[in-house]
Structure 1
Amino acid sequence: MTTVPTPRLQSEKTQGQFAIATQQFRKNGTARFGGTVLILLYLMALFAGFLAPDGLSNYSTTNLTPFHPLTPLRITSDGGLTRPYVNNYSQQLNLDTFVNEYKPTDEKCPIYFGVRGESYKILGLIPSNLHLFGTGNPNCKVYLFGGDALGRDLFTRTLYASQISLTIGVLTVLVSTAIGMIMGSVSAYFGGVVDNLIQRLIEVIASIPGLFLIILLRSIFPQDINPILVLYIILGILAFISWGGLARVVRGQLLSVREQDYVSAATALGASSSRVMFRHMLPSMTSYLIVTLSLAIPGIILLESGLSFLGIGAVEPYASWGSLLNQAQQGGFASITQRPWVLIPGFFIVATVMCFQLLGDGLRDAFDPRRRQ
């Protein structure tokens, strides 16, 4: 009995793997939502200097207004619409608690868009002084996320902290994935002594306790070295020693691919070993590597946030989302009852990890034929 292929199967035969995966991905609303939010977060990190309000765009400048409260934006005045503005705040001594408290005044500070102000560099290379918004009044500032213990704008600090938290995850995973792919393919293709040496090396590396290694590496570097450089070196070393799991998966997958006819044909035609591995064998794992990348990045982001929270990651004057949460922890229970805005960076960590998970699940479903509907 002859089986007549369905129109859906005939369509998939005429389309490439990525075209089919793209169609399936577009049907997944939660994955598209996660990807959209991640794009917005990375654009936020890229244009942090532009998005930071004028007068507060220098993330390391301190002032005499510790824990400044949020300044709500207002667009109505005397019952009618007007230019967006914020009220200026002044400190007043509470005679009952003897603590300076912030109170809004009657002074209105209009907000202007596309203002020129403090200089910054896009990607650390392109100089600019254009800001999305600002008041133009150095005595009246916009604190969208409030201020920290040193009077710095938490919105600006969160924007610049995203540059560290988001880029480190991507760079670390890319380095680890590249090493894992190369070592795994070499192990699978050559086998024998080469395979045994690589597998024993993976076992030795896996026996090293990660947290102890992090603390040891941080203690080696002098205190006066650039803290961002130290952070990248530590995470680079971690990426270099965390490729073992991926290398074993790549090896297992390519051991079966090595016996395929097209690999044997390429070898018989005189193709070099590197060409066979990188041109014929590794492309068969493209879909798996894409999913692995999307699911591994949030783990590195959480690792960096944990290191910075413990004080062995990004340190002053630089900041990451984890180090900003460290300041909230220092405030104790008062961070919740009196100044809850210091917890805002934690929501960025949760949102980023959640969106990467949604994106990774969507990519996995799109590339897996058994999950397609």
Structure 2
Amino acid sequence: MTYKLECLNPIMRGDIATNELATAIGDACAKNLSVVTYTDGEIYALSAIDEFNYNVIRVEEAEPMCIFTDYSFNMAEAGSNISAELKAAALLNLASEEAFTVDGTSYHVDKESGELFTADGTLVALMSDVRVVDSNAQDTFDVAFKEGLGELMSQMRDENQKAATLTWSLKQRNITKNEEGKEVFEDKLDEEGNPIFMDEELQITELIGTYTITRNMPFYVTNKYAPMSAEHPFGTDGNGMDIFARMMYGGRISLLVGFVVVILSMLIGVILGGIAGYFGGWVDTLIMRLVEIFYCIPSYPILIILGGYMDAARMDAISRLYVMMAVLGILSWAGIARLVRGQILSLREQEFMIATESTGVKVRHRIFRHLVPNVMPQLIVSATGSLGGVILTESSLSFLGLGVKFPLATWGNMIEFVTGLNENLGRYIYIWLPVGLLICFTVISFNFVGDGLRDAFDPKMKR
């Protein structure tokens, strides 16, 4: 059995003689000796804590120096760590299972399972004779996986097996490069931004007490850039995804952006425009100056800067979508506010408004129940006409790589994916041409609807 030292004395931690001392103490434990004389003449006394742990005391100092144990601490939270003081206290209290305090926090150990808990029942670590680390000697696995491996390795030892397999649901990862150019693992995400898990068969082999766990990296054969066929009406892209399905999904995202941005801009514009038109005076002047400021803001440069910031912050696709919709809505309300303000200025002196004032109707009801509904025809026409422009803006930003990112699909980033190949676009015309036509027809359709509604609401067109 392989032992190691968990030092109590801070001076002894990192001592270069620790491995030699561990060997000497291990031999003494195997021979059931209670005293060890080390090579430099120092004398150590051994007292058993339990079957697997020994308290080692330097006789000259008569104080606990280290704990000789075959246990390792597998952290409950991957990548975390605990202090040497907490490890030593946990080992000393393993047999008694009594509560103990380290750095002001109370802990207790379950003797049967070897689990270390805080006073509120939070699992901190699992004490086991099996230590599980990755190829870089880092603790990056969850405790359930470590427990599963520990049970399998115990079974292998009992049955004297040299190899075994374990099926486990593991997080899928890609190899990417960080800002320093080093290759790192990055979690694969689904279209909702959640990590992707997949059952994998792991091979465990034992050699001289060390167990090596290997996983077969899945190799997927995808039909990349397949031409049009009955199975794929518009072919496939560079990831083997069906273009037709991506177009339908991308249309949903593009239309969602259009409707959300228009609704947000209308809410802001109607509220501020209604207040400015009804109250007039300094309130109207203040809001109109704010409108002029927003008219002067260069939208595209701001959106490009924002896209660069989101790239630098490595923001996920869903968050980018929300941020882009919010910013587009905030930058688009000024025209709506000016339209509502102008209409309300002409309506507030009419007889029905005088009647609301004389009957004591509240101001907010006068604005939003009597004035704004009379502006709805103009608002509907304006909103319908704006939808096409918002979709075109989103497509342009995604085409530039500054909008919605993969794995989410929009019409703009589908075209950007093709142009990013640095190849002849004519070779992949079956990808970008249908998407471009969809953008064109959608924008034209909304413009036609807006023109039709404007004519329908215009009294002069009814004569």
Please report the TM-score for the alignment, with normalisation by the length of structure 2. 0.50
- Number of residue equivalences: 244
Partner in structure 2 of residue 30 of structure 1: none
Note closer, same or farther for the CA distance 1:179–1:338 as it changes in structure 2 (3 Å cut): closer
How far has the Cα of 1:279 moved from its partner?
Answer: 1.1
Alignment of 1:285-300 (within 5 A): 285-300=375-390
How far has the Cα of 1:367 moved from its partner?
Answer: 1.1
Could you tell me which of 205, 228, 237 is aligned with 1:148?
A: 237
How far has the Cα of 1:153 moved from its partner?
Answer: 1.1
Note closer, same or farther for the CA distance 1:320–1:62 as it changes in structure 2 (3 Å cut): farther
Q: C-alpha separation between the residues in 1 aligned to 2:279 and 2:432?
A: 54
Q: C-alpha separation between the residues in 2 aligned to 1:201 and 1:219?
A: 27
Q: C-alpha separation between the residues in 2 aligned to 1:62 and 1:147?
A: 15
Q: C-alpha separation between the residues in 2 aligned to 1:157 and 1:343?
A: 14
Contact 2:235 2:430 in 1 (8 A): no
Could you tell me which of 401, 412, 419 is aligned with 1:322?
A: 412
Deviates more, 1:221-230 or 1:322-331: 221-230
Note closer, same or farther for the CA distance 1:62–1:294 as it changes in structure 2 (3 Å cut): farther
* 1:264 correspondence with 2:422: no
Partner in structure 2 of residue 166 of structure 1: 255
Q: C-alpha separation between the residues in 2 aligned to 1:252 and 1:366?
A: 21
Could you tell me which of 307, 319, 322 is aligned with 2:397?
A: 307
Partner in structure 2 of residue 363 of structure 1: 453
Letter in 2 for 1:184: G
* 1:194 correspondence with 2:283: yes
Q: C-alpha separation between the residues in 2 aligned to 1:362 and 1:217?
A: 36
CA deviations over 1:90-109 (Å, ceiling 9, x no partner):
xxxxxxxxxxxxxxxxxxxx
Q: C-alpha separation between the residues in 2 aligned to 1:305 and 1:219?
A: 16
Q: C-alpha separation between the residues in 2 aligned to 1:155 and 1:167?
A: 18
Alignment of 1:178-189 (within 5 A): 178-189=267-278
Q: C-alpha separation between the residues in 1 aligned to 2:317 and 2:284?
A: 38
Matched residue SS, 2:232: coil
Matched residue SS, 2:330: helix
Higher radius of gyration, 1 or 2: 2
* 1:251 correspondence with 2:341: yes
Contact 1:180 1:247 in 2 (8 A): yes
How far has the Cα of 1:235 moved from its partner?
Answer: 2.6
Alignment of 1:1-373 (within 5 A): 63-72=221-230, 142-221=231-310, 223-331=313-421, 334-337=424-427, 339-372=429-462
CA deviations over 1:161-194 (Å, ceiling 9, x no partner):
1121111101100110111111111001111121
Contact 1:298 1:352 in 2 (8 A): yes
CA deviations over 1:257-295 (Å, ceiling 9, x no partner):
010011011011111100100111111111111111111
Give unmatched runs, 5+ long, in structure 2.
1-218
How far has the Cα of 1:350 moved from its partner?
Answer: 1.0
Give unmatched runs, 5+ long, in structure 1.
1-60, 73-141
Q: C-alpha separation between the residues in 2 aligned to 1:335 and 1:194?
A: 54
Please report the TM-score for the alignment, with normalisation by the length of structure 1. 0.62
Partner in structure 2 of residue 14 of structure 1: none
Note closer, same or farther for the CA distance 1:323–1:264 as it changes in structure 2 (3 Å cut): same
CA deviations over 1:130-171 (Å, ceiling 9, x no partner):
xxxxxxxxxxxx111101122211111111111211111011
Note closer, same or farther for the CA distance 1:370–1:174 as it changes in structure 2 (3 Å cut): same
Higher helix share: 1
CA deviations over 1:331-372 (Å, ceiling 9, x no partner):
567332564343211111111111111211111111111112
Matched residue SS, 1:65: coil
Q: C-alpha separation between the residues in 1 aligned to 2:235 and 2:420?
A: 17
Note closer, same or farther for the CA distance 1:288–1:174 as it changes in structure 2 (3 Å cut): same
Contact 2:224 2:238 in 1 (8 A): yes
> How much is the aligned-residue C-alpha RMSD, in angstroms?
2.0
How far has the Cα of 1:231 moved from its partner?
Answer: 2.5
How far has the Cα of 1:322 moved from its partner?
Answer: 0.5
